[in-house]
Structure 1
Amino acid sequence: MMKIKTPKNGRIKREIEKRAPKLVETGKKTLILHGTKTSSVLNSALREIYHLKKENAIKYSRRNVDIRPFESGGETSLEFFSLKTDCSLFVFGSHSKKRPNNLVIGRAFDHHIYDLVEIGVENYKSMNSFSYDKKLAPQIGSKPFFAFVGEGFESVEELKHLKEILLDLFHGEVVTNLNLAGLDRVYVCTATSSKKVLFTHCALRLKKSGTIVPRMELVEVGPSMDMVVRRHRLPDDSLRKEAMKIAPESTKKKVCRVIICFLQF
């Protein structure tokens, strides 16, 4: 018989409760990893993705030889790191002659690989390559807009999948109230073909227009890159069905209302 130990320390109990499944996930953490070999372009891209998600991201700088996301057996280390860091999203960078400047973005469910999208990075421009008033730089942690331009995001399977993963990657925490002043940036994704997407990050400024609706002005602040979709893998039907299950609503509120009614009588 296997003996299950229950935590006695209060700090450990709270940490386990944080990692437990919830009805509404407030924020998804992202794990950023390096492959056996990376280029200067990839190193800069991974560093700036971490900067954009600094509040909900963990970055490992050590090279990982055993991680090969699209190969059987090459996902074991990736799933171990997902469990260790409690991250449900990951960005993995590698560079080779066959696939230069390669980024694999994926999601995990219950610390098992859910789906994957592999993209090639072309025409990369870092934040430092843009000249603008630094006062316009968006605040990290603010809620971003997303603009998807092109019919491919609705008709092409690869681009529809990439759209889902990008929204999950930069989604941030779920909020009920939103301050307009916190909407200070926008990610613009333009589909130029069935395999290529232009990705840009812009600061958003609201200007006076003489009407109730303000005039919006976009200032490109970076990073900027062309994403070329190479491979993608959709989740298995059984795993998708398990991930899409809706948990039953808590009945605590209903019980409390019944008790209050009895007390009134």
Structure 2
Amino acid sequence: MLKIKTPKNARVKRALEKRAPKLVETGKKTLILQGTKTSSTLNAVLTEIYHLKKGGAVRFTRKNDNIRPFESGGETSLEFFSLKTDCSLFVYGSHSKKRPDNLVIGRTYDHHIYDLVEVGVENFKSMDSFTYDKKLAPRVGSKPFIAFIGEGFESVDQLKHLKEVLLDLFRGEVVENLNLAGVDRAYVCTALSSNRVLLTHCALRLKKSGTLVPRMELVEVGPSMDLVVRRHRLPNEGLRKEAMKTAKDQPKKKVKNVSKDAIEGKIGKIYIPDQKIGEMALPNKAKGVKRERREAKQKIADERTSKKQKEDAE
């Protein structure tokens, strides 16, 4: 059982809210780890997946003997590592006589196992085995194209599930706008049979086409491998409904005294009360008011003096 943490102050509360599940997902981090026994091929596969996802992946190189994702109770350590590293995707490699060069790719929801896909790696070719112009090498953090070729991705359940997991694994950060110059790589997944998929990684070369849209050429830069689907486990219905929850479309609250016009656009009315200037209290330190009062008093005094002088003269 994982310990439930309660925030002790505002800083811890903000950190926990940042790790909590969100209605709109941001970029997912990937945890890459291995079992007690691995092969040289599997180590190379895990290393190259880490390089492909550099900046969005965490790599553990120590051996883990108590992780068995498909067995009951064998996922506790995996969920613990997912919570500590804040990773919602994981790639677990193991090697045995029964399942050689075995990869388990899975997703978590709220740091609990959501679904799993187990594949075997065959015909692996590393990046170093390909010769190409190094100027075409994809940049770290660039946005990839992902192409799925074959009817099996639409009709075979295990390939449909593998397609969803591979999309989450390689798509990177979720963005709304895309700059074509920043798209310099493509993952091509070809369904060779009902349980075998060829995965290749290619660089994109932009060439002139005589139009605004450039012509694209694919240059294979590796890695390349065959993925043979062995086992897969779909999420249970309750967890799936919780993970697929979306925000309801709430009607916008009507704003008072605001309307929209096709010509003038947004029109607003502002309420201004009647100004009663006669009842307004004037400030005591108004120099102009004091001067006017002095002039008025002087005028009254002059009028009285002139009137008194007239009376005396008569």
Per-residue CA distance 1:108-131 (angstroms, 9 max, x = gap): 111111110000000001111111
**TM-score, scaled relative to structure 1:** 0.91
Paired with 2:5 and 2:100, the residues of 1 have a C-alpha distance of 47
Match of 1:258 among 228, 246, 255: 255
What corresponds to 2:15 in structure 1?
Answer: 15
Q: Which letter does structure 1 place at the counterpart of 2:61?
A: S
Paired with 1:170 and 1:248, the residues of 2 have a C-alpha distance of 29
Contact 2:208 2:214 in 1 (8 A): yes
- Once the two structures are TM-superposed, the CA of residue 13 in structure 1 deviates from its matched residue by 4.3
Greater displacement, 15-24 / 145-154: 15-24
SS of the residue 1:73 aligns to: coil
What corresponds to 2:224 in structure 1?
Answer: 224
What corresponds to 1:245 in structure 2?
Answer: 245
Paired with 2:5 and 2:115, the residues of 1 have a C-alpha distance of 32
- Whether 2:45 is the aligned partner of 1:48: answer no
1:50-199 residue pairs with structure 2 within 5 A? Answer: 50-199=50-199
SS of the residue 1:55 aligns to: coil
Paired with 1:182 and 1:202, the residues of 2 have a C-alpha distance of 15
SS of the residue 1:258 aligns to: coil
- Once the two structures are TM-superposed, the CA of residue 9 in structure 1 deviates from its matched residue by 6.3
Contact 2:146 2:171 in 1 (8 A): no
- Whether 2:37 is the aligned partner of 1:37: answer yes
Q: Which letter does structure 1 place at the counterpart of 2:210?
A: G
Paired with 2:121 and 2:161, the residues of 1 have a C-alpha distance of 17
- Once the two structures are TM-superposed, the CA of residue 106 in structure 1 deviates from its matched residue by 0.4
Instruction: State the percentage of identical aligned residues.
Output: 74
Paired with 2:203 and 2:151, the residues of 1 have a C-alpha distance of 25
Relative to structure 1, is the Cα distance of residues 65 and 263 closer, same or farther in structure 2, using a 3 angstrom cutoff? farther
Greater displacement, 91-100 / 47-56: 47-56
Paired with 2:204 and 2:5, the residues of 1 have a C-alpha distance of 52
Paired with 1:20 and 1:63, the residues of 2 have a C-alpha distance of 29
Paired with 2:142 and 2:85, the residues of 1 have a C-alpha distance of 24
Per-residue CA distance 1:219-255 (angstroms, 9 max, x = gap): 101110000000101111111111111134689xx57
* Structure with max Cα Rg: 2
Q: How many residues align?
A: 259
Per-residue CA distance 1:24-77 (angstroms, 9 max, x = gap): 111111111111101111111111111111111111111000001111111111
Relative to structure 1, is the Cα distance of residues 21 and 72 closer, same or farther in structure 2, using a 3 angstrom cutoff? closer
Contact 2:20 2:110 in 1 (8 A): no
Paired with 1:49 and 1:229, the residues of 2 have a C-alpha distance of 18
SS of the residue 2:168 aligns to: helix
Q: Which letter does structure 2 place at the counterpart of 1:241?
A: K
- Once the two structures are TM-superposed, the CA of residue 264 in structure 1 deviates from its matched residue by 3.5
What corresponds to 1:25 in structure 2?
Answer: 25
- Once the two structures are TM-superposed, the CA of residue 209 in structure 1 deviates from its matched residue by 1.6
Greater displacement, 239-248 / 186-195: 239-248
SS of the residue 1:213 aligns to: coil
Structure 1: 4+ residue segments shifted above 4 A:
248-251, 259-263
Uncovered stretches (5+) of structure 1, i.e. residues with no partner:
none
Q: Which letter does structure 1 place at the counterpart of 2:130?
A: F
Relative to structure 1, is the Cα distance of residues 211 and 153 closer, same or farther in structure 2, using a 3 angstrom cutoff? same
Specify which structure has the bigger relative contact order, considering alpha-carbon pairs within 8 angstroms and separated by 6 or more residues: 1
What corresponds to 2:210 in structure 1?
Answer: 210
Give the aligned CA root-mean-square deviation in angstroms: 2.1
SS of the residue 2:255 aligns to: helix
SS of the residue 2:159 aligns to: helix
Paired with 1:264 and 1:65, the residues of 2 have a C-alpha distance of 71
Relative to structure 1, is the Cα distance of residues 258 and 194 closer, same or farther in structure 2, using a 3 angstrom cutoff? same
SS of the residue 2:247 aligns to: coil
Paired with 2:84 and 2:222, the residues of 1 have a C-alpha distance of 31
Uncovered stretches (5+) of structure 2, i.e. residues with no partner:
259-267, 272-314
